[in-house]
Amino acid sequence: MEFSNDLSVIILAAGKGKRMKSETPKVLHRLCGKPIIYHILKAVMSLGPKNILAVIGHKKEEVRKYIADDFPSVLTVDQDKQAGTAHAVMMAGSYFDKMGSNILVLSGDSPLITSRTLKSLVGLRQKEDLAASILTSIADNPYGYGRIVKDKKGKVLKIVEEKDAAQAEKKIHEVNSSIYCFKKDLLVKNIKNIGTGNSQGEHYLTDIIEMFIDKGEKVQTYIVPDHFEASGINDRAQLASAEERIQLRINKGHMENGVTIRNPSSVFIEDTVIIEPDAIIKPSCFLKGETIIAKGAVIGPFSQITGTKIGSGTIVNSSVIIGADIGPDNNIGPYSYIRPDTITGHRVKIGAFCEVKKSTIDMGSKVPHLSYVGDTKIGSGVNIGASSVTVNYNGFSKFKTIIEDDAFIGSDTMLIAPVRIGKGAIVAAGSVITRDVQPDAMAIERAKQKNIRKGAAKYRNRKKTDREK
């Protein structure tokens, strides 16, 4: 269901979040790689509203920049003095005439809210022609929440905040989520009459509900089954709890789409990651950014992948990959580090304890173990022996190494860039190569070995004499 021109959204994101004890605005604290406000904006964007406004205040330029960069269609309005939730809505007053007949108001710190619940809330207001529909939940421990006061027939009478609640009202378990859908005309007409007669001396948006009731308007609650979906974040413990729930929601979505996740509670997957069916994610993996895992890939255990494409059938074991494009049927790790701008072809092996940076490795080539490959172009069918290094930096500039198809690089080789190893060439183990090697040539660069007869015994005797002195 899309409400298009009938729905506008106001997100209240001006608060400081004192209990977070942070220099970062509360709505920019991150959950599963994205700010709190991202999760809310994603939910409301799926409703297809006419417009969305975010009311910002504390460190507003940081919040404005994030919204402009990631959600450019969202408008921002300033609330320089935080004088309550009703005052925040009034700051959007210059846009009222451009809004739809339904105005959805949300707190900027409720990242667990889903578009399905918001659709139900707006749909209830429309269907029953209500002045307002209120999203509520049943809390086992309602402390700190505004209570929904109803009469014996279940009719809403008012919302009372914790600090203003009488003892009998504090025993109520139906609590306010601070998410509402209003009939625009009635909201605009009444909001300016909200006073500050409360313990905080602020303009509470909740007071408008009692105004509606006193004027004979209809108000109903929509009780969301999961209390945590409607809850906000006020401190670091609640931030951690919300992240855990969002993560399990993300992981469950991937599993429902045909991905196997071993021990899902140990696997961290950001919202932006795409995983195709029949991929397997083993325990203790972190998948972040614009990462794509193709079908049949096996990731982990203990792997970190950020902003990377992983080809079908590829195995990544206990390794870190950032900003790379890994081809199909590769075998990576264990304990390798693949850095940005690395591209591999089909059936490439990058074995244990290797580091690869800004390099291309073509089909069937192998860097089996303990090697560094940087600023290098490796052709197909190449074998790089253990403990080999492409020496790409001279202290001032980076230089490129080219290793053509079917070349063989022996163990413990240093290739001093810029250098080219020709097709089919062999470089003997232990060589330091400073000049190009022609195709099918063999390059050997070693000092002549010298064996000193009885040299080891003489050395030990000399050391013993030195100690006795």
Residues known to be catalytic: 369
Is residue 62 within 8 A of residue 25, CB to CB? The reply is yes
Mapped to the 3 state alphabet, what secondary structure does the chain carry? Answer: CCCEEEEEEEEEECCCCHHHCCCCCHHHCEECCEEHHHHHHHHHHCCCEEEEEEEECCCHHHHHHHHHHHCCCCEEEECCCCCCHHHHHHCCHHHHHHCCCEEEEEECCCCCCCHHHHHHHHHHHHHHCCCEEEEEEECCCCCCCCEEEECCCCCEEEEECHHHCCHHHHCCCEEEEEEEEEEHHHHHHHHCCCCCCCCCCCCCCCHHHHHHHHCCCCEEEEECCCHHHHCCCCCHHHHHHHHHHHHHHHHHHHHHCCCEECCHHHCEECCCCEECCCCEECCCCEEECCCEECCCCEECCCCEEECCEECCCCEECCCEEECCEECCCCEECCCCEECCCCEECCCCEEEECCEEECCEECCCCEEEECCEEECEEECCCCEECCCCEEECECCCCECCEEECCCCEECCCCEEECCEEECCCCEECCCCEECCCECCCCEECCCCCCCCCCCHHHHHHHHHHHHHHC
